[in-house]
Amino acid sequence: MNLKQFIDYRKECPICQSKLRTYLHSHKKQSAQFIEDRMIMIFPLSPLDKRKSKEYKVGYSFDLNKNDFYIEFYTKELVRIYDSISMYLMSSFKSLHDNLHEFCFFKECDNCSRYTYSSNKFNLDLKSCSMSSDRELFILHEYFGLVELNDKDMDRELRIYKLHNYYDENRSRLSCFDSDYEIDANYSIYASYEKWMDLPTIQFTDYKKMLDRLNKLMVFS
């Protein structure tokens, strides 16, 4: 798939309907801009000498249809630099790029923190300005954190379902447990008492239908 297809896969969180945020590589400080047919992921550049250097930013500007990219430099105020780039600025960028090393795209919900999906990993070749990987861009992983009121255990108010879909392996990983805290459904929360089942891929339809399906799965598990 191309980058546009990846971005358009889901624009809103299927859990809370909030707008999803796009990231490149990690949660490292960054911002995304969409201009015509390009997506620009902008990172701050750490000056090599903070006492003497101005602050700059660098943008990985991706073609949404072709998956190639080029590099743009900006001032701290996000004014693009069109003049020649100093060796000092290039060194700062090269340090950032080498530290990032391997890349992926992912989108997640910053509102409920119960949904995310991510691409396969790839490298960004600065010489060819292309994304290089063993396979073309595809959705590698998707996570859903679902919560419902618990009518089976009076000691725990909520029932939590955590569903990971691994599309390269055609499988799902499901955990179900009772809890008093909705935060336990967040993708960043890992509890030692979680028990997991490996299953054929469970496709998400809508929230209520998915809860019904997962409840039936647990009855027969």
CB 18: neighbour CB atoms within 10 A? 13
Q: Please answer whether residues 74 and 60 qualify as being in contact, where contact means their C-beta atoms are separated by less than 8 angstroms.
A: no
Tens place of pLDDT per residue across the chain (221 aa): 999 999 999 999 999 999 999 999 999 999 999 999 999 999 999 766 666 568 899 999 999 999 899 999 999 999 999 988 888 889 889 999 999 989 999 999 999 999 999 999 999 999 999 998 888 999 999 999 999 987 765 666 899 999 999 999 999 999 999 888 999 999 998 876 678 999 999 999 899 999 999 988 876 55
Sheet holding 56-63, edge to edge: 31-35, 38-45, 56-63, 69-75
| Alpha carbon distance 111, 207 (integer Å) | 17
pLDDT of residue 194: 75
pLDDT of residue 87: 87
| Alpha carbon distance 20, 7 (integer Å) | 10
Sorted by where each begins, the domain ranges of the chain are: 3-132, 140-219
pLDDT of residue 216: 85
Scanning the structure block, which residue is given the tokens 């945020």?
21
